[in-house]
């Protein structure tokens, strides 16, 4: 789900890039975000270099350029069906961001409702991040077909569903849709991390990747940063 930066500057460790992408969804400034990035990297035991404040500012500018500009969603303006689907997601987002993000926008809420109708069993935090990514891709004029495929495959629903989806990606035609194949593999890796946090197993998903699933996509993509999205 995380977007690989198209900036030509320093390339970040995939886990750091994802944390920064997640923190960009909040309204905090670069300095507190850098402090939080360092704290979370320490908690995760990541023995990697944390980016400079200059790099953080550049990434935030890039990621926030495609955020949904609509106003905050309000319970007062929602019908009961919409409120039932959106309110639990707000609670999940507040928890997953440690209180840094305590709302969703109207645009995000529209996607959350659609996502939860199509996939009632989807983890709440995942529903938000998919809505967030749908909006970001639309803002960039990029295809959301990869996200549609992820939703239709429901790899969160069971170990077998996860493995089938990973197997499919492992045998995808890389020559016909290299960017789509990379985005989907990265999406699986990131969501495996998210599911692990929800289920209390940090290795959930990663241990279920088939042997044919290339190692470089288990912990991030090794291709050069700067390639535009294709799907």
Q: Find the angle CA(19)-CA(143)-CA(100) to the nearest 5 degrees.
A: 25
The band of 147, judged by pLDDT with boundaries at 50, 70 and 90, is confident
Of 206, 66, 37, 71, whose CA–CA distance to 142 is shortest? 66
Q: What is the pLDDT of residues 151-209, one digit of tens each?
A: 888 888 887 887 787 777 677 654 444 334 544 554 555 555 555 554 455 554 444 44
State CA 212 to chain mean position distance.
Answer: 24
The band of 79, judged by pLDDT with boundaries at 50, 70 and 90, is very high
pLDDT for res 33: 92
Query: How far apart are alpha carbons 221 and 2 in whole angstroms?
Result: 11
Q: At what angle do helices 53-64 and 30-43 cross, to 10 degrees?
A: 100
| pLDDT above 70 for 221 | no
Q: What is the pLDDT of residues 19-41, one digit of tens each?
A: 888 888 888 999 999 998 888 88
| pLDDT above 70 for 99 | yes
pLDDT for res 217: 40
Q: Sketch the domain layout of the chain as residue ranges.
A: 10-65
């Amino acid at each position: 789900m995380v977007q690989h930066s198209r900036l030509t500057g320093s390339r970040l460790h995939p886990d750091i890039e994802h944390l920064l992408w997640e923190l960009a969804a909040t309204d905090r400034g670069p300095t507190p975000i850098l402090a939080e990035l360092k704290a979370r990297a320490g908690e995760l035991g990541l023995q990697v270099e944390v980016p400079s404040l200059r790099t953080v500012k550049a990434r935030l500018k890039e990621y926030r350029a495609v955020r949904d500009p609509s106003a905050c969603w309000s319970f007062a303006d929602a019908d009961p069906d919409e409120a039932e689907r959106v309110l639990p997601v707000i609670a999940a987002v507040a928890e997953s961001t440690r209180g840094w993000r305590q709302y969703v926008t109207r645009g995000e809420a529209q996607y959350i409702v659609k996502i939860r109708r199509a996939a009632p069993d989807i983890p709440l935090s995942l529903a938000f991040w998919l809505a967030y990514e749908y909006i970001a891709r639309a803002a960039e004029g990029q295809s959301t077909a990869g996200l549609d495929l992820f939703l239709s495959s429901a790899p969160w629903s069971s170990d077998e569903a996860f493995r089938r989806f990973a197997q499919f990606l492992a045998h995808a035609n890389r020559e016909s849709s290299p960017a789509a194949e990379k985005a989907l593999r990265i999406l699986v890796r990131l969501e495996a991390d998210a599911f692990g946090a929800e289920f209390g197993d940090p290795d959930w998903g990663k241990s279920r990747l088939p042997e044919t699933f290339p190692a470089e996509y288990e912990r991030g993509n090794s291709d050069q940063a700067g390639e535009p999205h294709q799907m």
